[in-house]
């Protein structure tokens, strides 16, 4: 049975850029589950109304609707216990949860500020007014003022990645010798940037760069082969 995933898309419907949806794309591939992705735009709240809220990812699995990337990841391990696990046990779940909050508080804001102009350019025209007004309300300032210059973004990111970099110097993946959900949490943030922006976020000598390369190759190059917005292809 194919699982349906509502997946945030840009002006080009093939360009998928939600960091949270990327977690789930990777998680489904990790478990070897078939997925049919449905391109979704911010303003298409009606299409996901069965989930009772207005954000993606949302999956529909054999009639069951699940939303929120964390809830979906837990659901997938529970519903498909015989498939490769996203969490090896309660310790892995606990630690992944901490990494989830670190990613969202330390990493996402820096990446968002760095790629914001490119992200805005990649949005579907029908999403632009909604994105501008909802985000300007959230940030308390115009998008253009909130955005970093590309150079300062990469420098702030370099600092923010400090502990993550130190760990990856001595292990291949966040989860050790093999990737699992905690890797997908952080990787989603890099796919967000890759899909819309040509800005090089990482130095080639950075262990985080080497990790990202390994992640891009996983699951038959799911990340590496994903379409990117025209402007990101620099
Ligand atoms: N905590 C949620 C966050 C999901 C989220 O914020 N999704 C964004 C796309 S990246 C969204 O759909 N936002 C809807 C909106 O801004 O109206 C999760 O982990 O799934």
Pair (140, 162) in one structural domain: yes
One domain for residues 74 and 150: no
The answer as to whether 124 is a domain residue is: yes
Q: Which residues pair with 64 in a beta bridge?
A: 61
Residue 85 in domain: no
Q: Residue 7: which CATH number?
A: 3.40.30.10
Closest Cα to atom 19, ligand 1: which residue?
69
Same domain, 123 and 209: yes
Tell me, yes or no, whether 122 and 199 share the same domain: yes
Task: Work out the average pLDDT over 21-30.
Answer: 98
Distances from the Cα of 222 to the Cα of 19, 24, 207, 215, 232, angstroms:
14, 12, 21, 9, 17
* 146: its two tokens: 């909130």
- Report the CATH number at residue 137: 1.20.1050.10
60 and 162 within one domain:
no
Same-domain pairing of 71 and 94: no
Please tell me the distance between residue 20's alpha carbon and the centre of ligand 1 in angstroms.
7
* Residues 49 and 40: beta-carbon distance below 8 Å: no
By mean pLDDT, which of 78-87, 97-106, 131-140, 151-160 is the weakest? 151-160
Q: List CB contacts of 25: < 8 A, sequence separation 6 or more.
A: 5, 7, 16, 35, 37, 222
Range of the domain at 18: 3-79
**Is 209 within the bounds of a domain?**
yes
Q: Indicate the residue among 24, 47, 79 that finishes a domain.
A: 79
Instruction: Mark whether 14 and 74 lie in a shared domain.
Output: yes
Q: Could you tell me the pLDDT band of residue 211, with boundaries at 50, 70 and 90?
A: very high
> Does residue 8 have its Cβ closer than 6 Å to ligand 1?
yes
Asked if residue 60 is part of any domain, the answer here is yes
- Asked whether 57 lines ligand 1 (CB < 6 A), one says yes
Among residues 31, 47, 79, which one ends one of the domains?
79
Same domain as 44, residue 149: no
Mean pLDDT for all residues in the chain: 96
**68 and 96 assigned to the same domain:** no
Q: Is 180 in the pocket of ligand 1 (CB under 6 A)?
A: no
Q: Which position has the token pair 């990446």?
A: 111
134 CB under 6 A from ligand 1? yes
Does 122 lie in the same domain as 224?
yes
State which of 51, 56, 70, 99 you would mutate to test the pocket of ligand 1, scoring each by most atoms of that ligand within 8 A of its C-beta: 56
Is residue 49 located within the same domain as residue 107?
no
Q: Name the least confident of 77-86, 93-102, 148-157.
A: 148-157
pLDDT digits (tens, 9 = 90+) for 89-145: 999 999 999 999 999 999 999 999 999 999 999 999 999 999 999 999 999 999 999
- Mean pLDDT of all residues in 40-55: 98
Q: Is 58 helix (H, G, I), strand (E, B) or coil?
A: strand
User: Do 165 and 202 share a domain, yes or no?
Assistant: yes
* Total number of domains constituting the chain: 2
Domain membership of residue 84 (yes or no) is: no
Q: Would you say the CB of residue 108 lies under 6 angstroms from ligand 1?
A: no
Reported as a pLDDT band with limits 50, 70 and 90, residue 151 is confident
205 CA from centroid of ligand 1 (Å):
32
Q: Which of 36, 57, 79 is the last residue of a domain?
A: 79
Establish whether residue 56 lines the binding site of ligand 1, counting it when its CB lies within 6 angstroms of any ligand atom. yes
Does the structure show a pLDDT above 80 at 222?
Answer: yes
Cut 0.85: pTM above it: yes
């Amino acid at each position: 049975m194919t699982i349906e995933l509502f997946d945030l898309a840009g002006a080009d419907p093939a360009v998928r850029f939600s960091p949270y949806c990327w977690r789930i794309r990777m998680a489904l591939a990790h478990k070897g589950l078939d997925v049919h992705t449905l391109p979704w735009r911010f303003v298409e709240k009606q299409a996901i109304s069965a989930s009772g809220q207005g954000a993606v990812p949302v999956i529909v699995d054999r009639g069951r609707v699940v939303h929120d990337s964390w809830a979906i990841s837990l659901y997938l391990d529970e519903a498909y216990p015989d498939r490769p696990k996203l969490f090896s046990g309660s310790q892995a779940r606990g630690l992944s949860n901490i990494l989830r909050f670190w990613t969202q508080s330390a990493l996402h804001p820096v990446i968002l500020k760095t790629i914001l102009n490119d992200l805005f350019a990649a949005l579907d025209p029908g999403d632009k007014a909604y994105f501008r007004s909802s985000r300007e309300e959230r940030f308390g300032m115009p998008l253009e003022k909130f955005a970093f210059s590309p150079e300062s973004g990469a420098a702030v990111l370099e600092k923010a990645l400090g502990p993550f970099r130190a760990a990856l110097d001595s292990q291949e993946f966040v989860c050790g010798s093999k990737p699992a959900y905690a890797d997908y949490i952080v990787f989603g943030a890099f796919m967000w940037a890759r899909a819309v922006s040509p800005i090089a976020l990482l130095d080639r000598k950075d262990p985080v760069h080497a990790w990202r390369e390994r992640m891009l190759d996983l699951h038959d190059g799911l990340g590496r082969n994903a379409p990117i917005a025209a402007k990101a292809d620099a």
